[in-house]
Chains A and B, each alone.
Chain A
Amino acid sequence: MLNTYVVYVENKPGVLARVATLFRRRAFNIDSLTVGRTEKPEVSRMTIVVDADHDQALRIEANLYKLVNVLFVENITNEPAILRDLAMIKVAVTQEARTQVFKLAEVFNARVEDVAPESVTIEITGAEDKIDRLLEVLRPYGVLEMVRTGVVAVRRGSKSSAVSTGTATGANAAEPGVPNEDVSYSV
């Protein structure tokens, strides 16, 4: 099944390569991986979606923690969470079809970002399956090009996956980034 991880990492050169290498090395197949800045400049946040069974999912989490630059990992697969993907879809349209495509975009709460004589570019944000469905209905018109960002995720409610980043040394290195009580350390 698809597992979604929220991963906080130190914003340093090469950290993405370390994470990517881990998945390649342990033969876990990444479905999608997004990375971007957070509210703290020294921290980046990744959302990683991986196809893995229960045991593999726990091992992925443990292996991510072994990376020195990884601050915090949470598997939010079974947590209430908002998951969003963004897609831009360029559709071939004739004069006649254009209105129909506009209508479809409207139904899906998508925005038309560009209109050209023979194409329309639609931007949609939403859960992955919503984007899949829009794509489905646009296919008959001819999809010229599509790009998706991959999923980004955040937990619902006031409980956050946020990480504190103090400077840790020696024995208290375990303190910062230690998540809530309900995340089991010993699997």
Chain B
Amino acid sequence: MIKSGAQILWECLEQQGVTEVFGYPGGAILPAYDALKYSNIHHILVRHEQGATHMADGYARASGRVGVAVATSGPGATNMVTGIATAMLDSSPIVCITGQVGSKLIGSDAFQETDITGVTLPITKHNYLVTRCDEVARTISEAFYVASSGRPGPVLVDITKDAQQSTCEFDGKPIKPQLPGYRPDLSPTSEEYKQALELIHNAKRPVILAGHGIILSGAMQEVRTLAERANIPVGLTLLGLGAFPASHPLSLGMMGMHGEAWLNTTIQEADLLIALGMRFDDRVTGNLKTYAPNAKKIHVEIDRAEINKNVKVDVPLVGDLRAVLRELLPHLKQQDRREWIAYIDRMKGETAVRDIQNLPDSGHLYAAHVINDIWRETRGTETIVVTDVGQHQMWEAQYYKHEEPRTLITSGGLGTMGFALPAAIGAKVARPNAEVWVVVGDGGFQMTMAELATLVQEKLKIHIAIINNGYLGMVRQWQEFFYDRNYEATPLLNPNFVKLAEAYGICSCAVTQRTEVVPAVKAARQHNGPVLLDFQVEQEDSVFPMVPAGAGLHEMIRRPSPIVETAADA
């Protein structure tokens, strides 16, 4: 059958199982939008193309399926850059489709022309420029395959206007990707397996470093078996949260810059690190020179370019985590490490006394209270928390206990403010039955709050908890600790968030007392529609513990005990 490139595009997306796309129309992508009438795909109109990419990202992270964002050429395409870079650093499978000026105009600085394949070269896993309608089908098939296989990542497909408009023969049969140079499936040698097992069996003080790769690979059960059989405690990276149940006796919580003190100490004192699908990011290691000085390291990782990048490892196991563990587990011996685990438990006990949760109500509302209360109210239900970036993100990681994978969606690697609201929309679209909470700072919220309109337009029931401290809190904290409390450009003049929400027809209220938190959360959950809660929290609270940038992982700044109410009181 003769079809236009635009028709072929939507048909191929349907073949890939796409049911929703997030997009914004414009001149160079108009033929594709016109052809939407032939498709069953639901197009969600966003308010800014950055939002479309974060939604596709949130969709992918919530579901494991590829998220799709659509934009026009020029500014439409460049607005996607932040979202693409976010997906790249967090290995999130998204496909971005952009319109491009007619192929004959390429290079002429035509209206709304940007070399978007050039711009996104270093921030995509791969990208394509399609100039002919008969290339559309194969490209879409390859784009989805590349985005979702191996270490997932964003793929951009730039399609010229004439490629969308012109017609060619299309039989509707799925086209296989032709990628002779692409090899997403490597596996370790038997010698490497042997060495890894030997290290595990000989270790006295091992710890598992559990990362995002576990969730991407679907290796939760295998990791649990590994930990339980060999009795190895498990620390998690920010993006790893949910890969191992927080309530499990072997779980040590989050590691790194704002990780749990006992876990950071455990890593520093360990004699073996078993890194599973994580990449030794600087936020996780602190100073590399003093990182886990006595530990041998096993690194299970699908991307071999990560091996020895930051931390020199003794045994690399390059391959899909689930496949590697399945190979390893039958040879793994039952082991007892009671002493090591008891030692870590003692450290946990010492730290708990500093926990803000265990302090009497002083009338101050702390972000930690809010997040912990949201967790208490939603525990046991299918709830996805989507956070923004900053202090509230770290408090979420510390005080919301994630039991299941894909229940925390957060921008880790790129640390993209403005991520939360659009990503939550994507997550809700992907999993309409899940309860979705946005935990966002007053700063980040204002970066992408235009997407409130998208949320209302799509009639999505999402709960938004603004952790409003009137500051760009994390930056303020750095200014407090390292810049002599010079709060330059961090105090925020905020709009009335409640009135703002009402303007969009969103139910809203402000919460200022600790006693009001639970009733507000309960009311929000019962309300039939989206709710925005403006939690006006302690302005100058800081996230503890904190490993200052460049310091060793054990050199943590701890929460002063007894607690100092605010920095100003100190």
Contact = CB atoms under 8 A, between A and B. Distances in A.
A21 B185 CA distance: 24
A173 interface: yes
A55 B186 CA distance: 20
Nearest to B186: A185
A18 B304 contact: no
B189 to A, nearest CB: 7
A174 interface: yes
Contact of B318 (A9, A71, A174, A185): A185
A21 B122 contact: yes
B447 interface: no
B246 interface: no
Contacts of A13: 129
B43 interface: no
B545 interface: no
A177 B307 contact: no
Contacts of B125: 68
Given A55-B308, A59-B305, A68-B126, A186 B177 contact: no
A58 to B, nearest CB: 7
A173 B176 CA distance: 11
B470 interface: no
A165 B180 contact: yes
A177 B179 CA distance: 11
A178 B317 CA distance: 18
A170 B177 contact: yes
B549 interface: no
A18 B181 CA distance: 14
B163 to A, nearest CB: 15
B181 A9 contact: yes
Interface residues of A, number: 36
A67 B317 CA distance: 21
A72 B179 CA distance: 13
B373 interface: no
Contacts of B240: none
Interface in A71-97: 71-72
Contact of A62 (B121, B146, B305): B305
Given A65-B183, A67-B181, A186-B188, A21 B121 contact: yes
A185 B181 contact: no
Contact of B181 (A14, A59, A177): A177
Given A21-B121, A187-B316, A177 B308 contact: no
Interface in B295-333: 303-305, 307-309, 312, 316-318
Secondary structure at chain B's binding surface: helix, strand, loop or mixed?
A: loop
B182 A168 contact: yes
B118 interface: yes
Among A58, A69, A165, A169, chain B packs the most CB atoms within 10 A around the CB of A169
Given A17-B121, A174-B186, A187-B318, A62 B178 contact: no
A25 B146 CA distance: 21
Interface in B169-200: 176-186, 188-189, 192
Given A21-B122, A25-B122, A169 B304 contact: no
B117 interface: yes
Interface in A39-76: 55, 58-59, 62-63, 65-72
B178 A169 contact: yes
A69 B118 CA distance: 15
Interface string A150-187: 00000000000000011111110110111000000111
A152 to B, nearest CB: 21
Contacts of B177: 169-170, 173
A127 B264 CA distance: 53
A147 B177 CA distance: 42
Nearest to A43: B180
Nearest to B315: A186
Given A169-B177, A173-B184, A186-B192, A66 B303 contact: yes
B121 A170 contact: no
B200 to A, nearest CB: 18
B180 A168 contact: yes
A173 B179 contact: yes
A165 B126 CA distance: 20
Contact of B305 (A14, A66, A71, A177): A66
Given A167-B180, A187-B316, A62 B304 contact: yes
B312 to A, nearest CB: 7
A14 B116 CA distance: 13
Contacts of B184: 173-174
A10 B118 contact: no
Interface of A: 9-10, 13-14, 17-18, 21, 25, 55, 58-59, 62-63, 65-72, 165-171, 173-174, 176-178, 185-187
8 contacts: A10-B181, A14-B117, A55-B312, A58-B307, A70-B181, A173-B184, A185-B304, A187-B307
Given A66-B303, A173-B182, 15 more contacts: A17-B118, A17-B121, A25-B122, A55-B312, A62-B304, A63-B305, A65-B305, A71-B181, A166-B180, A170-B145, A174-B183, A177-B181, A186-B189, A186-B317, A187-B307
Interface of B: 117-118, 121-122, 125-126, 129, 145-146, 176-186, 188-189, 192, 303-305, 307-309, 312, 316-318
Pick the 5 closest A-B CB pairs, nearest first.
A62-B305, A169-B176, A186-B318, A174-B183, A71-B181
